[in-house]
Amino acid sequence: MTDRPDYGEQVREAFPEIQDIDSAELREQVVEAWVLGLERGGWRDISDIPYAWNIHEVTNVEHVRGVTRIAVDSAEQQRDFHGADPQLDVIRAACLLHDVGKCYEYVEYVDDEKLLDPDPRYASDEIPHSLSGYALAHEVGCPLAVQRAIPHFLGEVPKRTLEAELVKSANSASSNAITQSAMGITLQEWVEEYSQTSD
């Protein structure tokens, strides 16, 4: 049997933004959710997960970091200009976890050498990554405010919070930048053309 990589170390190195979360417990929950996803997905390295099933030029790590930065910047603008009070720990954790479900969903779209032994009970593209990401956050005990900000498609959560809207809009901003730079099309055009779950 192949030795498992040190997923905790991979996650902490991949996402330095974890250290910006004030709550030590929440920081560890973010790491734990990623470790579970990586173990069950059977990944050799967190950087092997692509941004999208058909866009491998950008990694999921790069996208997640971009979404986190965009959402935090937006939250700070909302505070400064509008007097809103978004919870930054919730935003950071939800952004960092919004695509952890790709650990399960994208195993079928990469070369076999990037994988160890995906667990067939989890590793599948049948469940959208935003829902499996929510499930991972729930499993490790993330606060409800974080869980409900992870599903980023309309209709997945009946009542969206300010933090959820920030995650969703930051995801769209990052995704549009990626699809434009990688393929010369908008995210909406990508969704219409490839009819897979979007990012």
Q: Tens digit of pLDDT for each residue in 79-128?
A: 999 999 999 999 999 999 999 999 999 999 999 999 999 999 999 999 99
Which of 81, 72, 83 is closest to 22 using CA atoms?
A: 72
Tell whether 2 is covered by a domain. no
Q: Which residues contact 178 (CB under 8 A, 6 or more apart)?
A: 51, 52, 55, 58, 63, 199
Angle (deg, nearest 10), helices 162-183 and 88-97:
40
* Residue 153 domain boundaries: 7-194
In a domain, 1, yes or no: no
Is 180 in a helix, a strand, or coil? helix
Q: State the angle between helix axes of 129-139 and 88-97 in degrees (0 to 180), rounded to the nearest 10.
A: 120
Q: What is the pLDDT of residue 3?
A: 77
3-state secondary structure of 182: helix
How many structural domains comprise the chain?
A: 1
| 48 assigned to some structural domain | yes
In a domain, 160, yes or no: yes
CB contact set of 39 (below 8 Å; sequence gap of 6+): 4, 7, 119
Who contacts 105 (Cβ-Cβ below 8 Å, separation ≥6)?
Answer: 53, 124, 125, 127, 128, 129, 132, 197
pLDDT digits (tens, 9 = 90+) for 135-189: 999 999 999 999 999 987 656 666 789 999 999 999 999 999 999 999 999 988 9
Cα–Cα dist 187/79, whole Å: 28
Residue 199 lies in a domain: no
Residue 46 lies in a domain: yes
CATH number at residue 44: 1.10.3210
